[in-house]
Structure formats: structure tokens, C-alpha cells
Structure 1
């Protein structure tokens, strides 16, 4: 990197009226920029200068300052703005942007502003006549700014005092027209509280805390954690290289499934220190520099405590960079880039296993999940009946050991581990206040009352779910596993699924336009079945990201613009509901195509169900009575019905001849 020239910048020879129009922060940016740009401006009429601004600086201030410098002839600039341009670069890919590169060739002078040295690479050096990394604001810079803003000269002692304050504090105190002595007195009379380092929670393993062996219903995550514990033990004993140990995992699942509890139990099982962090904690102060410092401090703490588990909650905060737009795009990209820097390099964080937790794994930037980073993914699902029973037993300890908990387990359908923990805690509190041992009635009273559904609602849900099942069997989309419905619900919850058609998605399958068309038809078959039987359908099919019509709409959109399976071959790497919705809004012709696809597949589902109305009604009645039907039972009924239909057709043909 080229050394910054040693230039005297105490005399800018600029009109005082013009310089006073700049704010303090922009003045300081202009001083720093002129220190490196002035020799280049004076000796060359054409240049490309790449400048990395200080880590805690606002790139907007430097952009304003750069425009001011280039438009001021006495600073060496050129008054005609068409001859220069200022670019803000967010990452390496942005620097290689063909439009921006072509602009640097069209203008006489180009200044490229970067917010991180991580963006500097060979391309930046090849394209630039000057590359410079600016230091943080110094006392000397403040002395120059004070003169230019009309405060007069200040002593070295006062300049040193002022340089110890944040730019925000200086901007508030050093107001135009206020004597510098007054500003200094204000800062001394109202000292800013010392900024605390970004908090990092470090928890040592304790023998009285649960391990993964103690905790039920964690599925694949528990299996992975136990295998990691074995590998960590071998690594500590020198039997295994750190390169052979999994050093990252993304843990996902609905809220309340115990992701934080898993991290604690994992650290305790492995005998490792737990360092807890989150995007919200790093972002508490709001500034990009504070965010990045907090992030690096967490990794530094984890390295200092190694072997350790670095647990990062709210991992979906680091979402796909291509989805960013608007004013916050640069901030968000720098955050993801900063995390990538911290994650990269096995040797740099030997002994540190990073576990990210999220409720929305699909939002995480794919680059964070590549090999060497968080390349393992485990899902903690909602516990099934056995899992809920195991969690109840764990939370109750020695209480109710001889009691049958079937009624409790049945009433907890759809519950998370956190829900069960709360119910057990409330039940124990009730027993304590009554001055007696815990009884089953305490546990039942601690659970929300379930309301029995009206018979007509149960029947409609059964019709809807059997519509999905029949169309899936006929089209042979994803393999059907079973269909289930509920006969009761918790009244005070926002959303309670009253039924479900459960599929097993094949791990390896050739997914073509036919596959997705079949899947869309299956998704719309519940609505089609309701319309066939009742003449209309209920609102349960839409209005939520996980609802049938919403999923079908997004699939139809992705067929067109993501996978090249529709009328266009142009591919856009978008997959989130928000991005897909925006694409449909911006492109009316796309919305029309998606609408056409949905209506075509809805009619297709209707055409499949129409001749099978009796079978639909019969299977729905069985589902109402039994609450669950297996795929084998449904497929056998369909096969039998098809034989009867074929036999009836053959009989008609024979009689006509």
C-alpha cells in the first residue's frame, strides 16, 4: 500500500465563507481527504483515488467533503461537476460493478470511498492511482477545523482534550458562533459517560447444570452435540486435529423450542466455556463501527477462553446481501462482511465452535453457511407426543411419577418445550401456595383450556385436508405420510393449525416444472375440495407465509424469475416472501403470469377431485372419526375407487356394444 504523503495542510487558502458552511464532521473529513488528495490533484488532471475512511466514520460526511473539494478551484478541484464522480463501495463485488468501473473511465477524476480495508484487493490497486487508508481524527485535525470554522486557534492541550471525545459530542459542543473556551467548558462540565465495551456473557461449565444427555426431544441437534463432545475430548487429548472437528453449526426451530438451553447444555457436555452474544447486543449503540467492534470483541473473548462455544442468537439478522436495498444496504452488507471475516480461517479460531440460532434459517446469507463456517444445520422441531411426555417428566422431576400424563400430553399439542416448562412451573407454584404435594389437577389447571370445535368445522377441515391428500396421491408429488385433524383448540392463541397433510420430501429428486406444477395443484387442492363441497372456501388457506395459497404464489413466482421454468430464462436469486412480493409489485406482467399459473393449477386440482366426490366425502368421514389416516390407508382407498371407476366404464362400453 502506498504511503500517505507528508503534506502541510495548515494553510488551505480557501475562502473562509465557503468553509464555514461545512459542518464540523464534514470539515474534519475534508481535512483528512485533502491530506492525501492534494498532491494528486495538483499534478494530475486525470486520476482514480481509492480512500478507506476511518472505521467509526460516516461515509456520507466524506462524500460531501469530496464533492466540496472537487468543486472548489482553490483546493485544486474543477468547477464543472461533469468531470468527476464520487463512488461509495460496499464490498469487493460492488467495486467490480461494470457500471461503476465504466464511470471511472468516463470522468476525469474519480474518488472511490470504502468503509473497510477488507474490500481492498488486487483489483482496487490495479484500478487506482492512489490507495490510502485514513486515520481517525487527531488533535491536529481539530485545530485546523477550529480555525476554518471561525473558533480561532486552540492550544495543543485543548486539542488533545477535544480529540478524546466522540464526534457526536464535539458537534454538539462546537456550535458556530460559540467561543471555543465555552465549548471546552461545556465538555468538562458535562463529561460523557465512559462507553462500556460491548457486553459479552461468559458462562463457565457447571457440574450441576444439565447436559445433553439429560435433555429430551432435541433430535438431530442432540446427536450432533454428543458427537462434538467426543471429538472435543479427542482434540484435547491430542488425538484429533482441530481441522477434523466441526467448528460451526446453525440451529433453527420455532420460538420456545430451547435453542439457548441447547447451547448451555452443549457447552456443559463438551466441558467448554459458553460465550453468549447476539446481533441486537452488538447493534445496541447503532453505529456500524460499534457493531463491528462488538462482534470482534465476542470472537476475541471466545478465543481467549478457548476451548469455547460462541453462541450467536438472532442469526437471521445476517440475511442475504443481495436482498438489501435502500439507505441501510451499505450498513447491512458491511455487517455480513465483518462476520465473514471473523468466521474465516480455522487456525485463527482454533478451539472455538460457533453456534448460530435462528427462527428463520431461510433468511441467513448463504455465504455464512459454506464449508469452514456454519456448515452444519440442525432443526429443533416442535416435540411430538413422546417428546412432550419426556419434557413433562424432566420438568416435573420426582413429582407425579406414578401418574398417567396422557391427558396432559394430549392437551399440549403444538406446544414448545418453553410452554411445557411454564406450565410445570405454574403447577408447582399452585401446589406450594396450597401447602401440599403437586397433584395432576394442578398441572391441568395450569394449561390453557381447550375449546371443542363445532362438528361442521371439524368436517370442513377434514374435507380440506383430504383434498390435499387425494390430489397428491393422483399426481404423485412428494410422498404422503399421513393426514391428521384436531377436534379442539386453545382459544386465546393467534394461530392454531386445525389439521395437516404431512409429506416426506425426497432427499434427491429431479425438480422440474412438472414437479412444481404438481406441488402447486396439491397446495390448492384444499381450497378446491371446500369449493366442491360447500361452494366456497374459508380464509385458513391464505394470509400467512405458511398458508397454502401464499406458498403456491411464491412457488409460481420462483418458477418464472428464479429457476427459469416459465416464460423467461432470466434468473434472479430471490427467494424470500418479501423479495418475491416486491418483484410481483414492480412487474405487473409477472403478477399476471403467476395469477394464470395459480388458476390453471386450481382448475387442475378441481378436475381431479370432481369425479371423486364420494371418495373425498368417505375419507373425510373416516378422518373425522379417527383423527388420523395413514398414507397406506388413503392410497388403498384411492386404488379401490379407481378399480370401481374402471369397472363401471367397462360395463357401460359393453352395454353400448
Structure 2
């Protein structure tokens, strides 16, 4: 007897098995699709006709959910009849409403900021709340991406903002790489209060009052303020004013605050733009209108500063994903406004981003944003100043030492949140904010066992000794830590090098660099018989860096088995290694050779290595001069173990 099918689809997509013919979507889009499908179970029938409104909550990011809704709609509606009627009520106009009525199908999102009207309810067949993301959604997305389902990965997908997930998981990037990138970055700090329409006021602060931005950016800001003053006084023409800069750095270092403080210093108005907010304006024509409106406002108020946040969202015109045509049009419009035929006299454009390498090179060419200044994480002195600025509290010397260790790697935003929490605690206790409240809200410090500290010293001394012996670079200093911040697993040891800029980057140079990278694990193997997992994992780990250098030699620099080269790209390198067994063998041979060379150096100079370890365990930090002195005192005479530089024809 034939089986009759009702046409009803399985209502919960996270329970169904992966179909090899499934359309390609990124991991966060599939997770959002599960949320959409779960909320629209009653309409999850093939061929159904409906116009439905999904009321969103705080956990919503339109670009991801729009693509998820289209993915859902393509499966239940006839793709030839569906014209993409996935909209936000705040963006909907008469044309969109007409298209929805014509197709008799649409999914409309109503954000929290939008008040649904009676006419909206009349148009919609149903108004349904969009459910929250759940652990089942995250597990289904990991399963679909063929990734192991671990508690750490599930927690990452459940807690990361959609905007960060969207940027991390891209069509061209392996999902495992995306997860590793997210793990390597500091966790996004949720705002304590709802995000305001404009950045918070800096209360008249100027560059002279601030710390933590790095000397290069502060110096550039003071020079700009002088040039703006001279321009206003008609002493210099606008063409002599540097009117474009790109500032980059990790989230929370204060890029937006810097732009506001810069405007205060220059005594000119600032107009805030954001690549993501411009994109939220709607379709391409609305998107371009929003960009032009910001430039027009800046020109009307000139001299002024136009601050463009998240400018790396624009990406590059060389990308070939499903949104490439759309983004090419947007980038072209931005380039035209940056110079082109529409000059922007009186407007200083400050672009800010987290990943400057994603930007189209045309945006940073001379005449546009041709100066790039990186904003570093604040050092110990800057973190003290930031604490003083936000709290007015001065700690004693012992507390400052604890504070500096516990806040290492924190941004200005992290410290501001720390002070806010401490101030709240003081209010609850009816006390005035003091140092005790600050210290109690620091991340707990865990003292490392002596054996662990000794292992750190063995590892870092290995790097320094091999660098000295192969002539790779002068060691500036070696540092290890006796404390670890609870829940933070960053590197606890570091060797800083002074690499001569004028040395030719030959194959020998890179082989020496690889030997130095693997010298830490070489020392561990010689002393302990094995090495720890800290040598690999994130992009900055020893084996990861050595692997990238070896790949670059073989495929990007023409120094391997072929002169045919590819563009230097870590993402492309990872795909090459995954798909090319011969390349993996070549890289393995390079790494194995340099590891054995590093081990032979450690064996030959074991006395010098042990002296470095002993001194490092006692002092926690050794200067480069002291490193040289210890090695000279304990070094056994031998032939040079450096790879000889190849002669360059003249």
C-alpha cells in the first residue's frame, strides 16, 4: 500500500539527521534558523502561504536572523515564487508590503524598539515571539558542522554575541578555525546598561588627560589639533592637514573614546558612524543613503571629525561569498566619498576596527585612511592611570602589585567595569569606595607550584639560548610569572627579541626563526623527556607560529620545492595543509629538522641552559645583558650552529 505524505516537515530541525544536500549556511546562521523554525512550527509545512511577524528580544542580530529566515523560507516555500520577503518592521515600506501581499508570503521581524501597530497585526496572519537560543540549537549547529560537541564549544555559542559569531564564522573559513579565533580573543563584555544611541560623553576630556592609547596615537592627535587650529586661522590650507587615519586594536581598548577625546582636543564637532548601523538601514539603496548622510552631516559641520566604527565590516572587494556583489557596491561608494570627485574639505575621517587585515587595500591608500596606528592593550602604568581616572582611588604598593598582575591583558573597558562593580559593592555596604573594594573585585590569583615555575623557566630559557646560538636575534629580556589569574590561560612566560630590520630574510633566516620557535619544547624534551600542550593551540603558540613560517617558506616565499607561490594568508595556508599531504610532509620535515637542531644546541650548552633556568627561577625576569653574560660564562666552545646566510648576487 503506497505511503501518503502530508507535506509536513519535521518541526524541530535540530532533531533531524544531517542531509548532504543541505544548503550551505554558516554555523551561527543555522543556529538562528533553529530558533526561527522552532517559533514557526505551526507554519512549517511545504507550500504554505503565510505572512508572520516574529517579535524579537535582546538576543537578536538582524543580518544573521535575516539569512536564517531566508534559509527557512526556501525550504518550505517555492524558491521560484519567493522573492526574499524577510524584513524588519522598522524598515518596511509600501513597496515591501505590496511584495508581501503579492507573494502571500513574508517573515517580518519586530525588534524591541518597534511598537507593533494595529495595521501591522492586520497584515500579519500571526504575531509570534522568537524563542531564545538553547543548548540543543548549539549542539545541532556543531553536529551539522561536524565538530565535536563539548561543553566549552556549546558555552561559546551560547554566550558570544551574534555579531561576533557572524564575523568569526564565514563561508571561506573552516568552522574549527572560527572557534579557535573566538577562544583566542578576550570575551565580549556585555554592556551594564542598554546601549545608548551615541557613545558616552567624555565630559570634556582632552588627550592631555588620558592614558593607555599608546604614545604614537597621542602624538598624532596633538599634531592634528595643532593643524586644525592653523587651518581655522587660515595659516595652512586643508591639503596640509592629515585628514584620514585608521586605528585598530582589540575590543575595549577605547577606540571610540579616543575619537571623542580627539574632537574635544581639536575643539570641533564629531559625527558618529558605524558600518553595522549603516547596514541596518535596510536594502542597498537605504544603506548607501545612510553612508552619504553621515558624510553630508560632517561636511555641513566642517571642520569636523567623522568617526567610522567597525570599518572592517566592509571587508574587501576581492571576497567571493554570496554577499560580494552587495559589499562591492558599498565599498565603491565609500571610496568615492573618501575622495573621488566629492572632496571632503574640513572633514577628518577616523576609521576604527579590530581586524585591519580584512580591509580593502583601496581604503588605506594615500589620500584616504593612509595612516594606520594600532592601539595596544594598556601596560601596567596605563592601567594604574585608568583606575585612578575611573575611581579616584590610589592603592598602596602591595595592592598595586596584585592589581597589575590581576589586570594584565585587560582593556580600559574591563577596568571601567571593575570599578563600576566595586562602586556598587561599596554602595551596598554604605561605604565610600576604597582600595579594598577594588581588590575584592579583582580576578582571583592562583600561585603556581614550584615545579610549574621551573618548567616555565626551562621552556623560556630554551628559546633564549637557541636564539643566541643561531644568531637569530638579540634577546631583550626573559620573563616568567609565579601567578595565574583564575580562569585565564594566557602564556605565563615570554622572551622578547630585538630582530635587526636590515637583515635579509633568506631561507636560513626563517629556518633559524623556526628553530627558535621550537626551542622551548626542545628544552622540555631534553630536561623532562616530553613537552606540555601549551606549545600549541592558538595562533601565538610556538608550534603554530613555526608551522605558519614553514608553510610560508614552502608556498608564499618560493623557498621550498617549487618557485610557484601563493598569496600570504594564514586561512589559505590552513586549507592548503588540510588538502595537500605532500605539503604537510614538507612542513613536517622542516619542523623536525629544526627541532633536532634546537635539541642538539640544548644538549651541547646544557650548563648555560641550567644557569639561565636557575637565575630565572630566582628573579622572574632577566635582562638581555644578563642573558648574554650568563651564556658567555657557561658556554662550551663549538662551531657556529647558525644557518649560514646565502650570498645575494649584486
Regarding TM over 0.5, the answer is yes
Alignment of 1:482-501 (within 5 A): 482-493=477-488, 495-501=489-495
- Decide whether aligned partners of structure 1 residues 379 and 175 sit closer, same or farther in structure 2, where only a CA change above 3 A counts: closer
1 CA distance for matches of 2:341 and 2:633? 59
Q: Could you tell me which residue of structure 1 aligns to residue 269 of structure 2?
A: 273
Contact 1:449–1:490 (8 Å) recurs in 2:
yes
1 CA distance for matches of 2:93 and 2:481? 65
Is structure 2 residue 238 aligned with structure 1 residue 309? no
Is structure 2 residue 605 aligned with structure 1 residue 612? yes
Is structure 2 residue 511 aligned with structure 1 residue 521? no
Contact 1:204–1:273 (8 Å) recurs in 2:
no
Alignment of 1:151-162 (within 5 A): none
Is structure 2 residue 310 aligned with structure 1 residue 382? no
Alignment of 1:209-228 (within 5 A): 209-219=204-214, 220-228=216-224
1 CA distance for matches of 2:357 and 2:297? 29
Contact 2:399–2:439 (8 Å) recurs in 1:
no
Alignment of 1:41-440 (within 5 A): 165-166=94-95, 168-175=96-103, 190=123, 208-219=203-214, 220-284=216-280, 287-322=283-318, 324-345=319-340, 348-397=343-392, 399-400=393-394, 405-407=399-401, 408-440=403-435
SS at match of 2:530: coil
Per-residue deviation, 1:431: 2.3
Question: What TM-score results when the alignment is normalised by the length of structure 1?
Answer: 0.65
Q: Could you tell me which residue of structure 1 aligns to residue 596 of structure 2?
A: 603
Contact 2:459–2:524 (8 Å) recurs in 1:
yes
Per-residue deviation, 1:488: 1.0
- Decide whether aligned partners of structure 1 residues 279 and 429 sit closer, same or farther in structure 2, where only a CA change above 3 A counts: same
Q: Could you tell me which residue of structure 2 aligns to residue 641 of structure 1?
A: 634
Q: Could you tell me which residue of structure 2 aligns to residue 582 of structure 1?
A: 575
Per-residue deviation, 1:520: 1.4
2 CA distance for matches of 1:483 and 1:581? 31
- Decide whether aligned partners of structure 1 residues 419 and 274 sit closer, same or farther in structure 2, where only a CA change above 3 A counts: same
Contact 2:461–2:613 (8 Å) recurs in 1:
yes
- Decide whether aligned partners of structure 1 residues 297 and 583 sit closer, same or farther in structure 2, where only a CA change above 3 A counts: farther
Q: Which range moves more in the overlay, 536-545 or 287-296?
A: 287-296
Contact 2:607–2:634 (8 Å) recurs in 1:
no
- Decide whether aligned partners of structure 1 residues 349 and 605 sit closer, same or farther in structure 2, where only a CA change above 3 A counts: same
2 CA distance for matches of 1:419 and 1:596? 44
Alignment of 1:526-545 (within 5 A): 526-545=520-539
SS at match of 2:251: coil
2 CA distance for matches of 1:574 and 1:296? 35
Q: Could you tell me which residue of structure 2 aligns to residue 446 of structure 1?
A: 441
RMSD, aligned α-carbons = 3.1
Question: What TM-score results when the alignment is normalised by the length of structure 2?
Answer: 0.66
Gaps of 5+ in 1: 1-148, 150-162, 178-185, 192-200, 648-657
SS at match of 1:356: strand
May I ask how many residue pairs the two structures share in their alignment? 465
SS at match of 2:539: coil
Cα deviations by residue, 1:340-399 (Å, 9 ceiling, x for unpaired): 2222249711111111222222333333222111111212212222222222222222x4
Q: 2:464 aligns with which of 441, 445, 469?
A: 469
Per-residue deviation, 1:556: 1.7
Per-residue deviation, 1:229: 0.7
- Decide whether aligned partners of structure 1 residues 587 and 404 sit closer, same or farther in structure 2, where only a CA change above 3 A counts: closer
Per-residue deviation, 1:646: 5.9
2 CA distance for matches of 1:231 and 1:572? 43
Q: Could you tell me which residue of structure 2 aligns to residue 35 of structure 1?
A: none
1 CA distance for matches of 2:613 and 2:287? 55
